[in-house]
Amino acid sequence: MNFKKELEVVVISDVHLGTYGSHAKELLQYLKSIRPHTLILNGDIIDIWNFRKSYFPAAHMDVLRRIMKMASKGTKVVYITGNHDDMLRKYTDLQLGNLQIVDKYLLEIENKKAWIFHGDVFDNTTKGSAKLLAKLGGKGYDWLIIVNRMINWLLEKFGKDKISFSKKVKDSVKKAVSWINNFETTAAELAIEKKYDFVICGHIHKPQNRIITTEKGSVQYLNSGDWVENLTALEFNEGEWKVYQYEEDKIKTFLPEKEDENEADFLTKILAS
């Protein structure tokens, strides 16, 4: 018999719904397999920058329906705005039932404090005149993912290992490596200064769970990664944070054999009420 995985907190980010690169089907499977007390959406869930009316598949809408359903069944859902969904920042501090929209969030858990925010505040390329270039770069990244998927499909047919173009670029370009290191260090230094126990970000699409130590102290730095390349999330349970990595075979253990209510019918009822 299938059962859902009970968790205290789950953090996901950088889903980029509305783009070709988003692994919405896999995320939907993951969301169906868990029952968290708190679900934190740490930015760039909907990619408003690259949104187009001609492309928003059913699987992408199903992810939103599932989140709404989880909120209606008791899960506290905190939506932290990111740079690709920054239009939602005009609704900051809006609360509708179990759904809350914020720019940053302080989570107190087991007498410890977790400071959670998307991370674009550290990225000058998402502000001012550079924002246009960032948007164009986002579209280029989207097409790179499409080409990458086609090549990986061919590689699988010939029994070869998959590759990730964007990961290779990030890992080989010294400036990119340096920028990520600076991002993580800056986040950690601010968290240490504020005396937080954890600092949790998204934005850079690089899952992480490690202790960062400076001359002023230490903090546990975590990053939820993304659902474009890495298919990762952060899970907190029994006093410990872990990076979750999606694996289709393992997730089937937790998937319900039958849904108790049709997803589309459910959202229709919510919108009509």
Please report the domains of the chain, with CATH numbers, ordered by start residue.
5-272 (3.60.21.10)
Confidence class for position 35, pLDDT limits 50, 70, 90? very high
Confidence class for position 55, pLDDT limits 50, 70, 90? confident
Instruction: Report the percent of the chain where pLDDT is more than 90.
Output: 58
pTM of the model: 0.79
Neighbours of 241 (CB within 10 A): 17
Confidence class for position 2, pLDDT limits 50, 70, 90? low
The pLDDT tens digits for 5-28 are 999 999 999 999 998 889 999 999
pLDDT at 139 over 60: no
Is residue 61 within 8 Å of residue 70, measured between CB atoms?
no
Name which residue leads in pLDDT, 143 or 128: 143
pLDDT at 258 over 90: no
Name which residue leads in pLDDT, 169 or 70: 70
Average pLDDT for the chain: 83
Tell me the average pLDDT across 192-218: 95
Confidence class for position 168, pLDDT limits 50, 70, 90? low
pLDDT at 222 over 90: yes
Tell me the average pLDDT across 217-232: 96
Of 45-49, 63-67, 208-212, the one with minimum mean pLDDT is: 45-49
pLDDT at 88 over 70: yes
